[in-house]
Amino acid sequence: MRYSCDLGGERHAFGSLAHVLACASPARSGDELAGLAAHSAAQRVAARRVLADLPLDHFLNEALVPYEADEVTRLIIDSHDAAAFARLSHLTVGGFRDWLLDTVTDAAALAAVARGLTPEMVAAVSKLMRNQDLIAVARKARVVTAFRNTIGLEGRLATRLQPNHPADDPLGIAAAVFDGLLHGVGDAVIGINPATDSVPGAATLIHMLDDLRQAYDIPTQTCVLTHVTNALEIIARGAPVDLVFQSIAGSEAANRGFGVDLAILKEAQDAALGLNRGTVGHNVMYFETGQGAALSANAHHGVDQQTMETRAYAVARAFDPLLVNTVVGFIGPEYLYDGKQIIRAGLEDHFCGKLLGVPMGVDVCYTNHAEADQDDMDTLMTLLTVAGCSFLICVPGSDDVMLSYQSLSNHDALTLRAMMGVRPAPEFEAWLDRMGMLDAAGGIRALASGTVPPLARLVGA
């Protein structure tokens, strides 16, 4: 098939579907680094015009990454739900955008077609959408998952409590956990990125978190974000693993760079399900992604970074995760140069994940050498909350002292809940109330200077 159009008296031709998608993407440093970006604004508009007129079903007939060479492509094609796609099969990408934005297209309609959508279709339509469009559609979508509490319900914003420590010191981690709980943070997960890749060390932290959770009957889940093979070994040793974590990407080669494939992910899911630790649900997997992961591994197959990112959500979807989040600004300015690019990417990732039926959260973050600051993060966290994001990640003081990057603070979660009227997961909210932490309006109680917080009294602080 030929991909070309006339625009302003100039003919623009594109050599492949991947070329169209790359040139249609908003400008970002990663695509420029890979030599894939549009070379002018006119070429970008021409690519979007070509994309808008492309039938959706064309994406079922032209694989961006060869079927024979890539298990992610095979997963996408082999698991495609033709019946769910039938409602949209007559549409072009531009027509799909119109359908998504139509006021009659509601959460039920989006859920009904989710398994009929491929990542490439979803990435394509996102490239035709303004930020406002991405927010408006994502806000309508609902993806609900559960383990010890329920994530993704309308009007709720969950948070991951991230108590990292540069030496994995249990006391330091416990202090950060305590700080987060006092701010009402931690309903999505209490999740530690360990400083070392040690099975005994990770097992020690898992036992500590589970002891704390059980001692105070906290309806949340815990996770030490060690490699999936370590998690399997830790499970085999009898440790109380709630969620199995793994970073994933959108191609077989990129996942191989992470030391995983689909088979090992399935083994880990089965092992975690076998523990039967969930109380209100049984979603046991936790995945992280990020634009630029495949490119950084030279495993992008000439495909733009946002489309490759969206393919990672097909991997996540296959394992019914409790949580998925993009660490949107973490990989660095080589892939998302500044605050504008990070904000756009965060909205894209959230939109694409939810449209595919993935329980999407975001680590609203940046590295210290990016052209971004906390004002950009304030903007993105607010936009994502409007868009109905499932969960955000919080660290003490916005500064992760182990990973050395900037994220959101526990106080940011309080601000968003007060400003936007969103609440924690219902089971966690009820626990906060039992602990005497909530005021009459359902917010975290303000305490007079010198008072001991109710939770602190209960835990003997």
- What pLDDT sits at residue 461? 44
Separation between Cα atoms, residue 419 and residue 112, nearest integer Å: 32
- What pLDDT sits at residue 197? 87
- What pLDDT sits at residue 459? 47
- What pLDDT sits at residue 440? 87
89: left (phi over 0), alpha (psi -120 to 50) or beta: alpha
Q: Dihedrals φ, ψ of 283, to 5°?
A: -85, 115
| Contact present, 441 and 203 (Cβ < 8 Å) | no
Q: Report DSSP letters for 56-105, one per residue.
A: GGGGGTS-SS-GGG-HHHHHHHHT--HHHHTTTTT-BHHHHHHHHHSTT-
- 3 state DSSP class of 324: strand
- Single-letter residue type at 144: V
| Contact present, 421 and 145 (Cβ < 8 Å) | no
Return the closest-CA partner of residue 287 out of 306, 252, 314. Answer: 314
Separation between Cα atoms, residue 76 and residue 121, nearest integer Å: 11
| Contact present, 149 and 430 (Cβ < 8 Å) | no
Angle, CA of 175, 148 and 265, to the nearest 5°: 95
pLDDT, tens only, 416-455: 999 999 999 999 999 999 999 999 888 998 765 555 555 5
| Contact present, 175 and 182 (Cβ < 8 Å) | no
Q: Which two tokens stand for residue 260?
A: 């995983």
pTM for this entry: 0.96
| Contact present, 287 and 327 (Cβ < 8 Å) | no
Mean pLDDT by 10 residues, the chain (461 residues): 89 97 98 97 97 98 96 98 98 98 98 98 98 98 98 98 96 95 97 95 97 97 98 98 98 98 98 98 98 96 98 98 97 97 98 98 97 98 98 96 96 97 98 94 74 53 44
Separation between Cα atoms, residue 169 and residue 52, nearest integer Å: 53
- What pLDDT sits at residue 458? 46
- What pLDDT sits at residue 255? 98
Looking at the DSSP assignment, which residues form a beta bridge with residue 4?
13
Looking at the DSSP assignment, which residues form a beta bridge with residue 444?
438
Return the closest-CA partner of residue 118 out of 192, 38, 62, 39. Answer: 62
pLDDT, tens only, 50-101: 999 999 999 999 999 999 999 999 999 999 999 999 999 999 999 999 999 9
Q: Which two tokens stand for residue 7?
A: 């625009």
